[in-house]
């Protein structure tokens, strides 16, 4: 199981907690939980690389990534939210010690407490020096 560290925040923002739960689910291979947290028509843009559309595409991608490169460590430095938008940044270390720095932008399907993730923009940078 991946080691997950999160910088403490005020803890009074439901969308921030939702995004943290989503990141934890993805990093800990709880794919079914992660898929329940997105809309059927989720759009995920990996900036500069590709765009995935739909829950099935996300499921396929997560399964392939999990099989190929298991996550060993997830570090979340910041999660901020406003309205139906959220942003997070941090890093992921994989089983082969490759590290990726990320900054993700999330759009929710609405403002309410039952809103799901509708769009994710992923800005990822490969770090040359593994810890």
Question: Domains of the chain (ranges plus CATH)?
Answer: 3-127 (3.10.450.50)
Residue 114: φ, ψ to 5°:
-100, 10
Residue 79: C-alpha distances to residues 14, 29, 54, 69, 97 (Å): 11, 21, 24, 25, 24
Per-residue pLDDT averaged across 103-124, rounded? 96
Output the pTM of the full model: 0.89
How far apart are the C-alpha atoms of 18 and 107, rounded to whole Å? 12
H-helix or E-strand containing 27? helix 14-27
Q: Give the model's pLDDT for residue 11.
A: 59
How far apart are the C-alpha atoms of 114 and 129, rounded to whole Å? 40
Cα–chain center distance at 38: 11
The confidence band for 2, taking pLDDT boundaries of 50, 70 and 90, is confident
């Amino acid at each position: 199981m991946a080691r997950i560290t999160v910088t403490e925040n005020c803890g009074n923002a439901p969308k921030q907690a939702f995004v943290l739960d989503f990141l934890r689910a993805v990093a800990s291979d709880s794919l079914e939980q992660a898929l329940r947290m997105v809309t059927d028509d989720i759009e995920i843009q990996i900036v500069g690389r590709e765009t995935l559309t739909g829950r099935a595409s996300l499921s396929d991608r997560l399964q392939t990534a999990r099989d190929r490169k298991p996550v060993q460590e997830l570090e979340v430095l910041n999660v901020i939210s406003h309205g139906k938008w959220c942003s997070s940044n941090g890093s992921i270390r994989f089983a082969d010690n490759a590290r990726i720095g990320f900054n993700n932008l999330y759009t929710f399907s609405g403002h309410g407490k039952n809103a799901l993730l509708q769009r994710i923009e992923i800005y990822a940078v490969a770090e040359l020096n593994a810890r």
